[in-house]
Structure 1
């Protein structure tokens, strides 16, 4: 992930680290106030102000966050103002960027904690701060000096979300924020998991979801983090491994049943994925073939 260009086009002093679905930036501004800049937020963003204040204009309203305050902002277009601290003539904030995939993964992992079905009243969520959250947000700053930060970023984002979900001051608002997100961003994938239907191509999946191919593919990747084609391939190779291990069918029969263009193409792709040929896998796993030795 890269820091959104609109965020930094006028910023000279910032530190940024990013992983595939996460990003974190610490920036300072001391030249002048930035008044009502139009910004397209490519990712969902948590903003924590260290010095000065930020004004966010959204849906015929505006929200001001001051020093040691924070807010969740869904991806989209906003008008922002950064106001320098009166005493130090400086604005500082921490920006936590995360993709839809991060929220989807979190809600899937902790679905047992997300029981409320109520929606939030606002499209953004102002956090009720305490000393723990301040320390947690500021603990990200040293990560800009850490070389291998990907796993740490993932864990620390999860720590933020879990705390908000179980903190009495923020739980109801955060649940509303999550439910707003789920209603507009979650693709119903129940048919693909619950039903025993097997899909030959992405078009069949899109038809079942009542969407065009392009919209379905984008939404599918937002939810699962991989394209529907990759998902189909994964399912096909899962079945290939199962058949190689538990059936007495030969390689040609299996490749034909799973819809590969030819046994040679199946063998090539299987070896590229698993490092061994289908025959080698079969001989090492399948009791029928082991008994023939």
Structure 2
């Protein structure tokens, strides 16, 4: 059942031919809901084609820079802050408290200034972890590490989370459409009421500008016209017609 429902989310794919240092490749950009991935297939006649792996060092460095920029924007500590090592702080005893790597000093402050599982804390945790990985592994290993992390992200997002995100996006879209429809119906209704009122005022000029008294007189005409134009089946009360008429007159004055 779950697989069938996930398969209902349409897979979108665009392919393009590109050229790498090793020859022609087909780059496939794939999207299913909020999941996105890139597949690169060797388009040459080689018998043994290596499995594509993205440049892990380049990708991790770019993500780390975004996390650092986020922290900088919030004026939170990053690995670029100049922080005095704890070994020089008053009252610090290495033998008692243990040695602390300089790379962990800023992160300790970031933890103190942020709450767990917030965007700010996660940005600090990602930057700290990315820096450690980038300094400890070679390029070939980083390719595998980044691919593993990215596939884990896709795997964690797939299924229910992806479906819920899509449902939320559809709901926001429907609300926006519903709001636009309501605005159009409201504008059409005010135009209708104003037109009926203006015709009434031509015959009864002494009531022009008396919105509530006019509304009581034209109530049946308004509700019949609304029903004929599919602007609502529930009849409007004089008070509502009066308010709509007042708004319509004001809108007309603002246009002139």
Above 0.5 in TM-score? no
TM-score between the two structures when normalised by the length of structure 1: 0.23
More strand, by proportion: 1
Higher helix share: 2
TM-score, L = length of structure 2:
0.26
